[in-house]
Amino acid sequence: MSSKRNFVALKSIMYKEIHRFIRIWVQTLVPPAITISLYFVIFGSLIGARIGEMGGFDYMSFIVPGLIMMSVITNSYSNVASSFFSAKWQRNVEEMLVAPVPNWVIVAGYVGGGMARGILVGLIVTLVSLFFVEIQIHNIWVIIITVSLTSATFALGGLINAIFAGSFDDISIIPTFVLTPLTYLGGVFYSISLLPDFWQGVSQINPIVYMVNAFRYGFLGISDVSLTVSFGVLFVFIVSLFAIAMTLITKGIGLRS
Amino acid sequence: MLKALEISALKKVYKGGFEALKGIDLTVNEGDFFALLGPNGAGKSTTIGVITSLVNKTSGQVKVFGHDLDTELEAAKSYIGLVPQEFNFNQFESLTTILVNQAGYYGVERSLAHKRAEKYLKQLDLWEKRHAAARMLSGGMKRRLMIARALMHEPKMLILDEPTAGVDIELRRSMWDFLRELNQQGITIILTTHYLEEAEMLCRNIAIIDSGLIVENTTMKALLSKLDVETFVLDHAETSVSPSLDGFSYRILDEHSLEIDVKKSQNINQVFTQLTDQKIDVKSMRNKSNRLEELFVTLVSNGLGNNNEKSSDKPEAGAN
């Protein structure tokens, strides 16, 4: 009885979340397609032709996985951060808090919604990239696992950000000052093997390096880091962030008086 | 009789040391229509917050239909429907979406939830607005939407925190009828309100909370019987003589009206007799203020904020 109720509650939260970002598709689904088209035109067609090959592939093919992953990361994070913070701000999060919904269902529901947007945007960006480059697939399972784990990781990050946030400014600080630099320095546009040794070492503490490289391996079969290490990093991040999110919601931080 | 709500020694101290609840005890029987009254900041909303798990208690015990919030939280929550004081739905969602999602959180499948949404939207006269975004509704409609939302999982206990605040009198009366009907169907109702007439008209039992303590917990009937003096306003025809009443405290308000204090031991017939003798025709008569309001003001202004002042009357059985 309780598991059926939890399943229906999980479906309801996910339905609400997916319905939300589809209802505002002009704000959520169109901008990534436009942004990514500009990246392809500028970095791929205009500058990329002068760069030549990277990792044995033409520059455009090299950056495609990273650009898709960048969209997945940004959208998974911002979906949960803005949706959960709005629910807090409008106080409609209380609809869930007064209901017999276990905390793990709330976390799973929001993360599921964030993953759905991240993966849908990833698909849209992939479709857009087909206009610019021929995409090859080396290992579809690596692609599926990496995109799922990465979107879950950043959806959890967005949830934690929203729990602590006290204003709309607070949900834009992390994406602007942390996520964007880490993504740009995470090997989206270059192979970290091109960096001096010191900066290669520094790059290895950037978790996005592992996600981008695992994803690139799925498409091109090349990676700057071991696939096992990449999956291990993703696993550790998901478990840690889930534990943090659960603790915060259970304690009612920012939610209960 | 099954207890819908049992609160014992409930305390809440907020960060900063403010003691909102100082150890309250309260019992509401199944099927009751119960009023929880108190001035602003007395602890009503904190009490409701703890019952609905929106506020973490400091100590004490709360049971909902026998289920302890500490050990059987989800079971306890499933019995409660909450109509909060503030609008707390997603302003951008449609009415149907809000209701169906809410039902889902309680495990109600979407197909059944859609049927219930139709039922309650029709009953509360919101059906025409079912596709509208909630922000487009008037204040009264938003209040009714929150009632519909609270009913979607068919709770056994409905808690309404100021449900008719800002609602016009006609709509308020139709909401009263609706709440009475729910109560007759067996739903236990706990109501907080600033309209004391509302509490007097609807509720059988009452608790008054002041400064974090229950200062009165009794039946509405027993409470009203404590009222020693009632004040009436009499409108009379124009007269050349100034009205005079022996044995009554009275005030002449203007040349057409008179305010009279009538003690419980006195007979109001004596007022009419004396006025008739003076050839003064009474055109109409009304209470100066609501009876419960007079008592409420006395109870909370006397600062009966200690347990020794608690009434010994037991609340009466809730069922009609």
What is the arithmetic mean of pLDDT over A103-130?
95
B303 and B283 within one domain: no
B192 and B54 within one domain: yes
Q: Is there a contact between A90 and B88 if contact means CB atoms under 8 Å apart?
A: yes
Domain extent, residue B141, equals: 3-222+293-309
Q: Is there a contact between B84 and A9 if contact means CB atoms under 8 Å apart?
A: no
- Checking if the pLDDT of A159 tops 80, the result is yes
B274/B253 Cα distance (integer angstroms): 18
B155 and B11 within one domain: yes
B271 and B140 within one domain: no
Q: Is there a contact between B56 and A257 if contact means CB atoms under 8 Å apart?
A: yes
Quick one: pLDDT band at residue A253, thresholds 50, 70, 90?
A: confident
What is the arithmetic mean of pLDDT over A100-121?
96
User: Which residues have CB under 8 Å from B252's CB, separation 6+?
Assistant: B242, B243, B258, B259
B22 and B163 within one domain: yes
Q: What secondary structure letter does DSSP report for B86?
A: S
The answer to whether A203 and A194 are in contact (CB under 8 A) is: no
Does residue B178 fall inside a structural domain?
yes
Does residue B302 fall inside a structural domain?
yes
Q: Is there a contact between B53 and A16 if contact means CB atoms under 8 Å apart?
A: no
Segment 135-164 of chain B within 8 Å of chain A by CB = 149, 153
Sign for the pseudo-dihedral over CA of B102, B108, B113, B116: negative
Quick one: pLDDT band at residue A193, thresholds 50, 70, 90?
A: confident
B256 and B151 within one domain: no
B267 and B202 within one domain: no
B188 and B63 within one domain: yes
| DSSP assignment of B165-212 | TT--HHHHHHHHHHHHHHHHTT-EEEEE-S-HHHHHHH-SEEEEEETT
Residue of chain B whose Cα is closest to the Cα of A97? B54
Does residue B318 fall inside a structural domain?
no
Per the structure, the count of domains in chain B is: 2
Any idea which of A12-21, A76-85, B259-268 has the lowest mean pLDDT? B259-268
B204 and B94 within one domain: yes
Sign for the pseudo-dihedral over CA of A129, A135, A141, A145: negative
B147 and B39 within one domain: yes
Q: How far apart are the CA of B56 and the nearest CA of chain A, in angstroms?
A: 6
Numbered residues of chain A with Cβ closer than 8 Å to any chain B Cβ:
2, 4-6, 8-9, 11-13, 15-16, 19, 23, 86-87, 90-92, 94-102, 252, 256-257
Interface residue B133 vs chain A (CB under 8 A): no
Quick one: pLDDT band at residue B302, thresholds 50, 70, 90?
A: low
Q: If we measure between CA atoms, which residue out of B34, B55, B29, B33 comes closest to residue B43?
A: B55
- Checking if the pLDDT of B306 tops 70, the result is no
B164 and B269 within one domain: no
Does residue B260 fall inside a structural domain?
yes
Does residue B131 fall inside a structural domain?
yes
Q: The CATH number of the domain where B49 resides is what? A: 3.40.50.300
The ipTM (two decimal places) reads 0.86
Compare CB distances from B77 to A6, A15, A99 and report the shortest one's residue. A99
CB pairs under 8 A between A and B: 84
Q: The CATH number of the domain where B250 resides is what? A: 3.30.70.1560
Quick one: pLDDT band at residue B80, thresholds 50, 70, 90?
A: very high
Does residue B51 fall inside a structural domain?
yes
B275 and B189 within one domain: no
